[in-house]
Structure 1
């Protein structure tokens, strides 16, 4: 009987920890998305060049790879996460300005924004409600990501519009898979740090949004 009580207590504590992780992650994700949108607006108003955008993106990647893993367990982790998402938003400004100058550009941006929200909310809700374990997708997603990155590098030399659209569609599918995978990790104990999960989900959303912009813009340009 003591063993059963201990098991019940452990399961209850595990459930509470999981719910806390999910709550903190989505709260932090909401704040960083708003902050990123504000920084994108600043970038658009300043008319930053694509070169500045490239620099901010590399800066964000450097923080993700080298700084976040070392600060995720401390108060500096919060600063790092906002720095990452702020830089990503700042770098998004020139891209948004480009699409807004296309015919029907405002509709393109709004459609991409709505589509991104629908994809994220739908997949997150499915993962949270079903509570399925999507860890089996990890290997396939990583291989797919490597293939897409290599194809993107190759397309820098060939400039094939059809390949660019295909890659954007592939990125949307991959990031959708990562949303399920990352949410499943939170539910089933694959990760316990909400700052790391916030950045993972933010990158999924960011890449879906940019890829949808590319697909929608290609149909107008």
Structure 2
């Protein structure tokens, strides 16, 4: 038998028999909203990096937090859908603006860091998302407690490092944080499926979870690549 004559069945590959059709439609809306968020966030980052019109990182962070709270407190209904999509777009735009300072720093070190970090984040996010979609239902929901505990420890170590100023602890937080965020992609994806199966079809809010996972992954990977590039430049001197 010639193994090269075999054809891949993409239809079978894209079937998720353990997910009901209504939930599959819900996931399509979630990822369509996610794509919108990514586009708007890229616009916000572009505005900051190119025009320097919005340089107040703290204000953009407070603005995005305010819009997220507004979105969270606005009930999900057909009448409020357009309003909530507008709030989602505003939140994504200000989140992109908030990435501006980190993007400028990476550009100053080596502009190639940005496409590398983005492609790496996209690959990581896609692989872990597919793992969650193809896995048995609820198989990764046990990660919730572990991930939240890890986040709490990382927060405490970050606060403690304000006094110690340890580069090693800072780097450890970045690498551990990258692993933790991979776990959150698995957990959040399966949690969205479980919520949808139980009747929660708020695709806009579900999109926020995945969007924050992607942005956090991108930020951490970008900082890791930037640190490695700086270390290489120091070794060459």
Q: Which of these residues, 40, 55, 73, is aligned with residue 59 of structure 2?
A: 55
RMSD over aligned CA atoms reads: 1.9
Aligned to 2:156: 150
- Partners of 1:15 and 1:198 in 2: how far apart? 19
Specify which of 215, 218, 224 is matched with residue 209 of structure 1.
Answer: 218
Q: Runs of 4+ in structure 1 displaced over 6 angstroms?
A: none
Verify the 8 A CA contact 2:47 2:53 in the aligned structure 1.
Answer: no
Trace 1:159-178 onto structure 2 (pairs within 5 A): 159-178=165-184
- Which of 128, 132, 137 is the matching residue for 1:127? 132
How far apart in 2 are the matches of 1:192 and 1:147? 33
Q: Secondary structure at the match of 2:99?
A: helix
Deviates more, 1:139-148 or 1:151-160: 151-160
Q: Give the deviation of 1:46 after TM superposition.
A: 2.1
Distance in 2 separating the partners of 1:59 and 1:152 = 24
> Which of 192, 209, 213 is 2:201 aligned to?
192
User: Whose helix proportion is higher, 1 or 2?
Assistant: 1
Q: Do the aligned partners of 1:120 and 1:176 also contact (CA within 8 Å) in 2?
A: yes
Spell out, residue by residue over 1:124-148, the C-alpha distance to the aligned partner (whole angstroms, 9 max, x if none).
Answer: 1111122431211111111111121
- Aligned to 2:142, what secondary structure does the other structure show? helix
Alignment coverage as a number of residue pairs: 205
Name stretches of at least 5 consecutive residues in structure 1 with no aligned partner.
1-11
Partners of 1:157 and 1:213 in 2: how far apart?
25
Return the alpha-carbon distance in structure 2 between the equivalents of residues 88 and 16 of structure 1: 32
